[in-house]
Every structure is written in structure tokens, then in C-alpha cells.
Amino acid sequence: MRLKLFGNGLISALALAASIGIAEAKTDIIVAMQLEPPHLDPTSAAAGAIDSVLYSNVFEGLTRFGPDGSVNPGLAKSWTISEDGKTYTFNLHDGVKFHDGTDMTAEDVKFSLDRARGDDSANAQKALFAGIESVEVIDPVTVKVTLSEANSNFLFNMAWGDAVIVAPETIADIKTNPVGTGAFKFSDWVQGDKIDLEKNPDYWGTPAQLDNVTFKFISDPTAAFAAVMAEDVNAFVGFPAPENLPQFEADPRFQVLVGSTEGETILAMNNKLEPFDNIKVREAVAHAIDRQAIIDGAMFGYGTPIGTHFAPHNPDYVDLTGLSQYDPERSKALLAEAGFPDGFETTLKLPPPSYARRGGEIIASQLRAVGIETEITNLEWAQWLEQVFRGKDYGLTIVSHTEPMDIGIYARPDYYFQYDNPAFQELFAAITSENDPEKRSELLKQAEEMIAKDYVNAYLFQLAFPTVADARIKGLWKNQPTQATDLTAVVWED
Amino acid sequence: MLQYFLKRLLSLGLSLVAASVVIFLALEVVPGDPAAYMLGVNAQEDTLNALREQLGLNGTILQRYLSWAGGLLVGDFGTSYTYRTPVSELIGERLWVSLPLALYALTLSTLIAFPAGIWAASRRGSYADAGVMGVTQLGVAIPNFWFAMLMVLVFAINLRWFSAGGFPGWEDGFFAGMKALTLPAIALALPQASILTRVMRSSLLDTLGEDFIRSARAKGLTRGQAMWRHALRNALIPVLTIMGLQFSFLLAGAIIIENVFFLPGLGRLVFQAISSRDLIVVESVVMLLVFAVIVVNFAVDLAYALVDPRLRRRR
Amino acid sequence: MKIFLHNRSMLPGLVLTLIFTGAAIVSLVWVPYDTTVLNIAERMKSPSLQHPFGTDQFGRDILSMIMVGARTSIAVALVAVGIGMLAGVPLGLAAAARKGSLLDEVIMRMNDLVFAFPSLLIAVMITAVFGASALNAIIAIGIFNIPVFARLTRGAALTLWSREYIMAARVAGKGPARISVEHILPNVTNLLIVQGTIQFSLGILAEAGLSYVGLGAQPPTASWGRMLADSQTMISLAPHLALFPGLAILLTVLGLNLMGDGLRDVLDPKLRRSRS
């Protein structure tokens, strides 16, 4: 009897100690985001939500993006590039294990790259791998990739979420049970609600500070607001309602990080459709638009005006907003010159995000002021892809291009805005094969200027990326150089 | 009776086949390719084709209809295009939100409507009656999603008694689940309770006017006694019929309220599936709901026919 | 006429209905502010003398938006009721005239089938197929009005077919079609008017719901449901954005329901006796 009492006392003393321990350093976190991944294979879908949960947390590639967008070593600790820029030899980290305990070796790298570029590949960014001619295993920690031609973007391409390293043994179930090499391993997915990750105790690199991570999916902006206010979630990455941010900023419980993204938000014009095949009309549209009113009205002030298709935080960015200043009179004059003194009618097709829906209403009103009448159609993403992106059945549309360094889309004449300029295509080919950073930067600036002067699209603003978090959380990414919620360095502070 | 039963059963089968064809064809013409949606803007044509092949989207219409309908017959709802899990599992999970929500709302509506209806009927013509009827007029006219928004503003954002949306799942405990369903259930129950109150009242008043009540009154029962002992039971038949209708409405019709509160129920499942062109999920859920309604109607018809043989000939 | 106005529900119902139809008609020629012009600098202003209901997230005058929105709601609901009547009443008359025939069976089974579909889901499906627009909202709502009117008409017509004067007309050699038009239809009109009012108010609620989930009228057409949807994230900043459009829906539907009740009392003497 006495012994039992003693036993109870010991247990409660231990429990007390344990609870004090927990109070000192919280090691679990609930991170909310708007979109739920459709499945958990980053190598076979375009859905950014997959990367937002898994990139760098669960899956890693040969290289990885840092918080500032730089390309850093990932599973490859170093590499050598041949003189002609065609052969990359990667030296892998030793002793890397997948979450199922098997070793990650050069064979897995070969498997992953070959799978992504193979004939039956379902990779959404297959073009990233297009230049790969062969992948050879030299030894378990060395792999040689040969390209058909030099590609200065190759290391950058290998950092994408679509290029992470997966294992052949676990590939069959990857969509519901992803097995990677990251600092966290997947533990549970309640569809429609949340995904749980737990710390990987055998991680090859710097271990994560958190033990448990829960990603919660709250697509409704009102629910998002209430969930943060009620502290049901510790952080909300990509907070969907910019109008609510000032309330969080005023509240000492929260910190608000407004970071930049790779999302160039543009009013795209169908360059092969009358009257947008006329550069004067495109210029008129560009001058009819008051960027600040759109940023204020649609994004409540969050967003940086842009004058070309390039991210302002990039060192190679040139501010070209001066080419398309808000000037309705000039716009009307240009329309008259182009043969539309009374304006014209066109369609404005809008995908679901609020930047497009709200921005669309404002743009419609601005265009009406210079005589351009628009018929607004709100589309679901699937319809938008079908009608606008693939069908090219539209006059105007608003969309944010969130892929990093995607100015190359202007070199594709079949791309949905149908800009077909051989001079630009040549220029872009030169950029791709240029390995000298300074020359490359010069060429990029030329490219930015060329599309701005051709008024291919009306460039609106760089999408902001707001994160609202508990004030005690440190180490969250502020910017979104790629779609990711890298929690490997996140820690609670007192 | 057997002949009537067989005839109704045949008509039930035909209805189900017709419904499945209508649903399938309607969704065949939905613009938007599920494969294109999944692979996004940088997908290449060969990748798209490979995925379409994997999803079984490349067969002819007839082949695809037969494989879908054939699967339904043996309880196989197919595999979701986007989630890559069996549709029956998705539906099963969502039912655990939609079903309790519908039951909760129906319970609330009954708890409000029965006393209110009886009270109004027993004080017919009084200010109390007029007051109850006035409130029910408001309850029928109020858009429930607006009412829901106002409740969120007051109870979730200002008072912080409830969370504004989402569902924690039943694993967090029964009360956590019920708490999350409370505001949605109230929003759903309000118009239903108003309708039910009116039906209850008028049904009671009708019954009170009938001969057997008069004779009961003549035997010396007070109005109140007559109502409790005789009228109420008889007045319940139309009330229960309406409740049956309301239940299937609540199960399928909560789609807007599920959107306001971000509940992972059946309605939201269909809504999301339509926007991601996960057609097999849409087809299967709509078919399931239609099946439920048709079978419930069939059962009600049969029950009536058993009770009242005259009805058999009338149809 | 006296009985008309002395009815307890009729007068308030009529007044509310007139206010909103009036606002809709006036908005065709005049609104306080142009609703197609956005003024970001003036956004989310609280109610004031210049803007009695305040301004919305784009700086538009909410009173003007509600007036224009009334037009959308009323037009959508009215046309949807029209579709329901134009298709449903003939079907109901035909089914009653050929009671028990294959035609009757087919019509009634088709009605059951439409009834079996969860209406809102079908509306969502229709707009997914054909795109979100006011027209498709009308079609989606209209389709579900057809069985309502078909059943009502068939039921009422069946009781009429057993009346003596119909027998007389039959004996006089009139065909079923002629009897339906000349004798049945005029006698079910009152019923149809009452039901039409109720379906009208349900149509307004349905239009608001569809617009709320983004499947109704598209911008820049003002719509009450979409005003509510747009205001949802701003409800804690500026509650008036959600308050006034919601009240507009509530009062319009209330007005129509009250008017429907009143009309039933006035037009259907049998019910009048049992109700008050």
C-alpha cells in the first residue's frame, strides 16, 4: 500500500516536470493555409499547395531554394560543371536516409530524374528536365547529369519542388504516403482538414526544432480571420484577406510578415486577337490602368507596382512602370489613332483568386472610362485553363504568374497571350546559354524592356505574401521565392 | 398489393436509371479537363495524355457510363481523380459531418416548432399567436446564409464563443464536434423551424375542427384536454411528412451553409469537386443523394399504401 | 376591395412589395450614384447624409447598389416563375385531362424525378456546365418551378373534372383540350396566383443564394447575394456592407410572403373561413 502511494507520487512528480518542460519550449505548431493539396506527390501535379506543405519539410532535391530565392546545396553537397557547361557532376551527402529507413543513393537520383523526363511522366513542369540527355550513376554518392546543351538555369531548375528526389520502393503510394528525406516525416492526413508531420529523428542535416507540425486548410477568408483571432492556429501563411491585416498588426499577440512572391500579376491580352494585335491598342490599355487604385482596391495596399514581367526583388529587375503611366487622355488618343475613337468591346475572364475578381471589377471600370467595354466572366480554374489558357478564347484576363524566373514564357508563341516575336525568342535563347552572370544580367534587362515596350500585357503588381503568426514564432519564411512553408528552422521564443 | 409493389418497384428502377443518365450526360458536357486542371499551366500534351489514360478518361462515352453505372450497382463509386482515394471513402468521411448536422438542425427545429406550434394553436387569435406567426414569417423570409454571417459576427468574431468555421473532427471529442456544428445547425434550423411551426399550428387547428374532437368536447373535455389527448396525435401525420422532406433537404441543401462555415460536408465536397472537375465525385454524390430521396419517397408511398388501401388505386 | 385592404397581411405585404418593385423601376431611370463608377478613395464609408447606407469596398453607394440589385433579383425570380408556369401549367392540365394514361404517368414520374434532385446542387451543376450568369440562374430556378406548378394544376384540375358543369361541357361535345382551356384554367387561376407569389419569394431567396456562392449575376451587374458575399471578409470592419443587402432580401421576401398569404385569404374563401 505504501509502495503504491509512493509510486503515484513519483509519477505525478515526473508529470509535473514534464509539463514544466513543455511550458518552457513549445515544440508543436499549427500552420494554416488556404488550399489543401489534392494529393501528396510534388512530382506529378501543378498544385502549389503540395509544395507548400512538403517542399523542404518532407522532400528535398539536389539543390534547394533559400528564403531569399538563392539556390543552395540540398542533397548534393557540391557539384562540378564541365567547361562546356553540359556536364554536371553532383556529390551527394553521405548517409542520407529516406523516412522508411532505406538509404538515399545516386540510384534514387537517377530514378527520380529519369521518371520525371520519361515518356509516361506526369510531371507538371516536364520542361525543367527537357535538356537532360543522360543521368549516370558513378558511385553511390556521385551522379553525373549530361545536358544536350548548356543551360545556365539547370541548378535553379533542380531546386524546384517538381525535381525532388523520391525512392522507387515507395513511389506507388506517394500520393497518400509520401516518403522523402527531409527533416520532417509525414504522419497523417485528414482530407478536407489537416496534414500532420512529425520530426525525423534520423535527419542527415541540422535537425528541426519542432517535434510536431500540423498544416490546417482553411479556404474561406472569414473562417481564416476568425481562426487566427481565436488562436486556433499559430500561423496563417498566405493570409487570404488583406483587408484584415491592419487588425492583426494592431494586436500585440500577432506578427504580420508581408513578403514578396514570384507572382507577377498581369492583365494579359490576347496578342493575336483583334484589336489586341495592334500595339497601339495594347499601349492604350496599359495607359488606361491605374495600378495604385487596383493595389488599394483589390489588395488593400499590399503589392508593388511592376512595369514588366519580372520580380522587383530580383537584382536584375528594371523599373519600367514609367512606360505605362496612368494617363487616360493618352489612352483615348492612342485608341483613336488605332482606329477606335469610340472604343470597343471585349471579354474579361477572371479566375477565382480575389486579386483577379476584385481587380477585374476595378479594371473594367477603368477601361470603361476610356471607352473599352468589357464583359466580365468569372471562371473556375478548370474552366480558365480550358477556355483561356488552352483555348485562347478570351480578350483580357487577370492572372498572377507565380513560377520563379518565368520570363521565358514570352519566348513561346503558343503561350496563351500569343506573343510571337522572333527577336525576343532569339534573345531568350541567348540568355539560356549564357553562363557569364554579368552578360546574363544585361540580356535579362534587355528582355524585360522588350516586352514592356511591346506592351505584350498590362503589368499590374507583384503579389504580396502576407503571413500572420503568433508573435513568439521565429524562423518563418517571409518571402515566397517558391511555393514553400519551410519549417525546418522555425522555433518558439518566449 | 404485390402487383402495386412490383409496379412501384419498376418505376423506382426506371427513375434511378433515368437519373443516372441525366447526371452522367450533364457532367459529360461540363467544360474543363480534369487532367489539365491537375497538371496546371506548364503541362505538356504528352503528359496530359498519359494522365488521361491513367484516369480512364480516354474511353467512349458509353464505355465510361457503363463502367461508372456498373460500379455503382456493386457499391463501387470509383476513384476520385484529384484525391486518388475511393469516392466511397470520401463520401463516408463527409457523411460524418453532413448527417450529424442535418440531425442536429432537425432536432433544434423540432424542439422549437413543437412547443411554438402547439402554443400558438392553443391560443389561437391571441397576441401570442400573432407574435409566433409574425416571427415565423421573419424566419421563412430571412436568407439563412445572411443569418449565419450575422451570427459569425456576433458569436465568433465579437464574443468569441464559437469558432467561425471549420470542423475539428469527432476525434477531438463529441462536444468539440457539436460545438462546431452549433451555429450552422441554428442557421439551418431557423427557416425549417418556422415552416414546421406553421404546419404544426394549422394541422392542430384542422384536427381540432374535426368531428371526433367535437364529440370529445361534448363529452366534457376542455379544449386543452381535447388537444393533448386526441388532436395532437392526429395532427402529427402531416408534421412528420414535412419533417421527412426537411431531412433530405437538410442533407443535400446545406451546401451554402457549409460554405459559410467551411464545414467539410457533402455539399462542399460536390462544390469543390465541380471546381476541380473531379467529375466522378460529383456524379457519385449527386446520384447518392437522388437515390436517397427516391428511396425515401418510395418507402413513404408504400407506407401510405399499407395504411390506406384507397391510395393504391389513386396513383 | 375593402376586404383586400383590411386583411392583416395584405397591407404590409403590398407596401413592402411596392417599395422594392418601385426601387427597381426607379433605378432604370435614376439612381443616387452611378454604380458602374468605382471610387476607391471613398470606400467603406459609414452611413451618412450623402450615402444613407454608406459605401461599399469599391466606394460605390450602397443604396444605389440595392436599388439596381432589386432589379436583378426581381427579374430573375419573375422570369423563373414564368418558366415554371408556362411549362408546368400545361403539363398539369394535360396530365389531369388524361388521368391514368401513359402521358399522365410520364409527366408525373418526370416531376418526381426533378423533385428528387437536390435543387441547389443541380443549380450548381447547371451553372458549372453553362457558366455562371443571371440567365443560367433563371434556368436553374425555373426548372424546379415546373413540377411545383404541374402538381398544383393537376391536383386542382382533377377535382374540377368531377364537377357537374364539366360533365355538361363534355356531353356538349367539347374535347379535353378545349375544356381544359375554357373551364379548368380560369378556375385554377387564383390558386396559381397565390402559388406564383410564394414561388416568386422563393426565387428571390434562391437567386440570392446562388449569387452568394458566385453562380448568379456577374459583375458589374449589382446583385444582393453577391454584395453579401463580397462583404463577408469585411464584416468586422464595416458591418453595414452586409447589413443593408441582407435586410433588402429579408424585407422583399417577407413582403411577398405576406402578400401571398393575403391573396390566399382573399381569393380562396374556403381557406378564409378556416384561418381566421
> Averaging pLDDT over each range in A454-463, B44-53, B249-258, which range is the top one?
A454-463
Task: Check residue A1 and give its pLDDT.
Answer: 37
Q: Which helix (H) or strand (E) holds B314?
A: helix B310-314
CB contacts of C120 in chain B (<8 Å) are 252-253, 255-256, 267
- From CA A157, how far away is CA A65, in angstroms rounded? 10
Task: Check residue A10 and give its pLDDT.
Answer: 42
In the predicted model, is pLDDT for residue C107 greater than 50? yes
pLDDT tens-digit map of B234-281: 777 777 777 777 776 777 667 888 878 878 888 888 887 877 778 888
In the predicted model, is pLDDT for residue B174 greater than 80? yes
- From CA A378, how far away is CA B38, in angstroms rounded? 20
- Helix-helix angle B174-208:B232-253, to 10 degrees: 140
H runs (alpha helix) in A68-180: 106-117, 154-157
Percent of chain A at pLDDT exceeding 90: 65
From the list A241, A361, A377, the residue facing C131 with the nearest CB is A377
Of the candidate ranges A298-307, A334-343, A379-388, B111-120, the one whose mean pLDDT is the lowest: A379-388
Q: What are phi and psi of A135, to 5 degrees?
A: -125, 120
pLDDT confidence band for C276 (50 / 70 / 90): very low
Residue whose cell numbers read 499551366: B41
- From CA B5, how far away is CA B7, in angstroms rounded? 5
Of the candidate ranges A95-109, A219-233, C25-39, the one whose mean pLDDT is the lowest: A219-233
- From CA C73, how far away is CA C212, in angstroms rounded? 12
In the predicted model, is pLDDT for residue C274 greater than 70? no
Task: Check residue B54 and give its pLDDT.
Answer: 73
Chains sharing 3 or more CB pairs under 8 A with chain B: A, C
Rounded to an integer, the average pLDDT of B115-123 is: 88
- From CA A456, how far away is CA A279, in angstroms rounded? 8
Rounded to an integer, the average pLDDT of A273-282 is: 94
Percent of chain C at pLDDT exceeding 90: 33
pLDDT confidence band for C269 (50 / 70 / 90): low
Answer yes or no: do A221 and C232 touch at CB < 8 A.
Answer: yes
From the list B146, B274, B294, the residue facing C125 with the nearest CB is B274
Strand partners, A29: A213
ipTM confidence score = 0.86
Q: What is the mean pLDDT of chain C?
A: 85
Taking the CA of residue C254 and the nearest CA in chain B, the distance in Å comes to: 5
Which has more confidence, A50 or B304?
A: A50
Task: Check residue A132 and give its pLDDT.
Answer: 92
Answer yes or no: do C128 and B253 touch at CB < 8 A.
Answer: no
Q: Does A380 touch chain B (CB under 8 A)?
A: yes
Give yes or no for a cis peptide into B100 (omega within 30° of 0). Answer: no
Answer yes or no: do A123 and B269 touch at CB < 8 A.
Answer: no
CA angle A278, A281, A282 (to 5 degrees): 90
Task: Check residue B177 and give its pLDDT.
Answer: 85
CB contacts of B14 in chain C (<8 Å) are 109
Answer yes or no: do B84 and A352 touch at CB < 8 A.
Answer: no
C-alpha separations of B200 from B40, C81, C152 in Å: 54, 28, 22
**Domain B90-313 coded CATH 2.60.40.10:** no
Task: Check residue C119 and give its pLDDT.
Answer: 74
- From CA A379, how far away is CA C123, in angstroms rounded? 16
User: For residue A145, which of A72, A90, A92 has the smallest C-alpha distance?
Assistant: A90
Q: Amino acid identity, residue C157?
A: A
Taking the CA of residue A163 and the nearest CA in chain B, the distance in Å comes to: 14
What's the maximum distance between 2 C-alpha atoms anywhere in chain C? 76
**Three-class SS state of A177:** coil
Percent of chain B at pLDDT exceeding 70: 91
Question: Using the 8-state DSSP alphabet, how is residue A483 labeled?
Answer: S
CB contacts of B148 in chain A (<8 Å) are none
Where are any strands of DSSP class E within A103-227? 132-139, 142-147, 184-190, 194-199, 212-217
In the predicted model, is pLDDT for residue B315 greater than 50? no
Could you tell me if A331 and A288 are in contact, meaning their C-beta atoms sit under 8 angstroms apart?
Answer: yes
Which has more confidence, B303 or A380?
A: A380
Task: Check residue B253 and give its pLDDT.
Answer: 64
In the predicted model, is pLDDT for residue C88 greater than 80? yes
Task: Check residue A72 and give its pLDDT.
Answer: 93
pLDDT confidence band for C163 (50 / 70 / 90): confident
Task: Check residue A323 and give its pLDDT.
Answer: 93
Q: Amino acid identity, residue A399?
A: V
Of the candidate ranges A22-36, A300-314, B40-54, the one whose mean pLDDT is the lowest: B40-54
Q: Amino acid identity, residue B98?
A: S
Rounded to an integer, the average pLDDT of C20-47 is: 88
Which has more confidence, A198 or B296?
A: A198
Contacts of B72 (CB under 8 A, 6+ apart): B20, B284, B287
User: For residue B263, which of A218, C275, A371, C86 has the smallest C-alpha distance?
Assistant: A218
Answer yes or no: do B153 and C201 touch at CB < 8 A.
Answer: no
From the list C214, C219, C234, the residue facing A376 with the nearest CB is C219
Of the candidate ranges A8-12, A430-434, C151-155, the one whose mean pLDDT is the lowest: A8-12
Taking the CA of residue A321 and the nearest CA in chain B, the distance in Å comes to: 27
In the predicted model, is pLDDT for residue C6 greater than 70? no
Which has more confidence, A428 or A9?
A: A428
What is the number of other CB atoms lying within 10 angstroms of the CB of residue A142? 17
In the predicted model, is pLDDT for residue B6 greater than 60? yes
351-380 of A, contacting C, C-beta below 8 A: 357-358, 360-362, 364-365, 368, 376-380
Q: How far is CA B159 from the centre of its chain?
A: 30
**Three-class SS state of A375:** strand
Task: Check residue A143 and give its pLDDT.
Answer: 95
C-alpha separations of A283 from A323, A328, A335, C255 in Å: 9, 11, 9, 51
Of the candidate ranges A230-239, B35-44, B303-312, C212-221, the one whose mean pLDDT is the lowest: B303-312
**Three-class SS state of A481:** coil
102-131 of C, contacting B, C-beta below 8 A: 109, 112-113, 115-122, 124-126, 128-129
Rounded to an integer, the average pLDDT of A290-316 is: 92
Retrieve residue B180's grid coordinates.
462546431
Does the predicted TM-score (pTM) go above 0.95? Answer: no
Domain ranges of chain B: 32-76, 90-313
In the predicted model, is pLDDT for residue B159 greater than 50? yes
Could you tell me if A347 and A377 are in contact, meaning their C-beta atoms sit under 8 angstroms apart?
Answer: yes
pLDDT tens-digit map of A194-215: 899 999 999 999 999 999 999 9
pLDDT confidence band for A391 (50 / 70 / 90): confident
Question: Using the 8-state DSSP alphabet, how is residue A81 labeled?
Answer: E
What's the maximum distance between 2 C-alpha atoms anywhere in chain A? 101
Q: Does A28 touch chain C (CB under 8 A)?
A: no
From the list B137, B150, B152, the residue facing C257 with the nearest CB is B137
Rounded to an integer, the average pLDDT of A96-109 is: 94
pLDDT confidence band for C161 (50 / 70 / 90): confident
C-alpha separations of C90 from A200, C76, C87, C104, C114 in Å: 71, 22, 6, 12, 17
Task: Check residue A22 and give its pLDDT.
Answer: 47
pLDDT confidence band for C268 (50 / 70 / 90): low
Answer yes or no: do A191 and B83 touch at CB < 8 A.
Answer: yes
User: For residue B137, which of C71, C262, C2 has the smallest C-alpha distance?
Assistant: C262
Could you tell me if C35 and C65 are in contact, meaning their C-beta atoms sit under 8 angstroms apart?
Answer: yes
pLDDT confidence band for B310 (50 / 70 / 90): low
What is the number of other CB atoms lying within 10 angstroms of the CB of residue B186? 21
Which has more confidence, B248 or A357?
A: A357
User: For residue A306, which of A289, A319, A315 has the smallest C-alpha distance?
Assistant: A319
pLDDT tens-digit map of A147-182: 998 888 899 999 999 999 999 999 988 988 999 999
Answer yes or no: do C232 and A222 touch at CB < 8 A.
Answer: yes
> How far separated are the first and last CA of chain C, in Å rounded?
18
Burial letters for C229-251: b for 16+ Cβ neighbours within 10 Å, e otherwise? bbbbbbbbbbbbbbbbbbebbbb
In the predicted model, is pLDDT for residue B186 greater than 90? yes
CA angle B282, B286, B287 (to 5 degrees): 115
User: For residue A286, which of A264, A268, A311 has the smallest C-alpha distance?
Assistant: A268
- From CA B278, how far away is CA B73, in angstroms rounded? 20
SS (HEC) of chain C:
CHHHHHCCCHHHHHHHHHHHHHHHHHHHHCCCCCCCCCCHHHCCCCCCCCCCCCECCCCCEHHHHHHHHHHHHHHHHHHHHHHHHHHHHHHHHHHHHCCCCHHHHHHHHHHHHHHHCCHHHHHHHHHHHHCCCHHHHHHHHHHHHHHHHHHHHHHHHHHHHCCHHHHHHHHCCCCHHHHHHHHHHHHHHHHHHHHHHHHHHHHHHHHHHHHHCCCCCCCCCCCHHHHHHHHHHHCCCCCHHHHHHHHHHHHHHHHHHHHHHHHHHHHCHHHHHHHC
Task: Check residue A15 and give its pLDDT.
Answer: 45
